[in-house]
Structure 1
Amino acid sequence: MGRRFAAAWWAALCAVLVCLCATAPPVRQAEYPPWDGAPYFDAGPDRVDVNTAPAAELETLPGIGEKKALAIVEYREANGPFRAVEELERVKGISERTVDGMRAYVRIS
């Protein structure tokens, strides 16, 4: 009789669990705003302004080390402020690929 009782008890327990799961509200997935393709780090004012940033701040940009940062500052002092991000390609040692890599991190004032 012990085995029958245990089997009946487990069957009843399973039936109760199935009923609870079937009547439980659905689990909702977190809702996120639609992605517009812009990088998540895109926070305009937090970008580095290449027309006012010192060399030390320019070094934080991807692909820009100490020498390239100094070259940007020297170019800016000799030729005036940049009017577009693409103008950074005129600086010796900075390629189109480098500019593309830092585009999301810089701004022009």
Structure 2
Amino acid sequence: MAEFVERWRVPIALVLIVAIIAGLAVLYVRWPRGPTSSTVRSLLTTDAGNQTPFPIVRTPEPRQSSLKVYVTGEVAHPGVYSFRAGERVEDALKAAGGATADADLTRLNLAQRLEDEGYIFVPRLATTPLPTGGSVPVSPAQNSRVNLNTASLAELDALPGIGATYAQRIVDYRTKNGPYQRIQDLVDKKLIPQSTFDKIKDLIDVR
């Protein structure tokens, strides 16, 4: 056996080498190749002829932020409402349920544009009663003052320096103890400080 291997070793090695070379040749022929220069030129020509334009990206317009406006006074539903830029006082009154029958709209500019953090107070219509017998007529200036014994929370809240907290105190005291006798009661009963009273003393009365 050893003599056989020694005798045929060289031919067997040559056969193996030829087989390996043949296998490599087959792989080379069948191995996928990259595109030729003619193929590349063809692709470029086709793309250039059928070029699709890039899509146009439109930047959306910035959304207008809403405006917050406090509407109070002679309206059906006082409160803070949201509006779009460009809306007007008339729109604010509609959002608050409309003006009451006692509202004096002649003192408002219904066409004025709203501003963020705005404040709209709808005043009450001042009426002057007709004098009868020995009664003394009430002047419009006096009658336009806020009556502490009948004013609503919204009317009191609209007074300078009062706000919702002091307005609630004034109404609660009136409900529990009866009508005020004089405007100074607000300070004497410790419902509001003297500094706040000084701001509103010419805007209030008791009737």
Q: TM-score range by the shorter chain?
A: 0.5 to 0.7
TM-score normalised by length of structure 2: 0.31
User: Which 10-residue stretch deviates more, 71-80 or 82-91?
Assistant: 82-91
Runs of at least 4 residues off by over 4 Å: none
| 2:3 alignment counterpart | none
| 1:95 alignment counterpart | 193
Cα deviation, residue 91, structure 1? 4.2
| 1:49 alignment counterpart | 147
Supply the distance in 2 between the matched residues of 1:77 and 1:91 (Cα, whole angstroms).
16
Matched-pair contact (CA < 8 Å) for 1:51–1:76 = yes
Q: Where in structure 2 are the equivalents of 1:4-43 lying within 5 Å? A: 43=141
Q: Which runs of 5+ in 1 are unaligned?
A: 1-41
Matched-pair contact (CA < 8 Å) for 1:48–1:107 = yes
Alignment partner of 1:61 is 2:159? yes
| 2:183 alignment counterpart | 85
Compare CA radii of gyration and give the structure with the larger one: 2
Alignment partner of 1:105 is 2:203? yes
Provide the aligned length of Structure 1 versus Structure 2: 67
Q: Which runs of 5+ in 2 are unaligned?
A: 1-139
Q: Which has the higher contact order (CA 8 A, sep 6+)?
A: 1
TM-score normalised by length of structure 1: 0.58
Identity %: 39
Supply the distance in 2 between the matched residues of 1:91 and 1:58 (Cα, whole angstroms).
16
Q: Which amino acid aligns with 2:182?
A: A
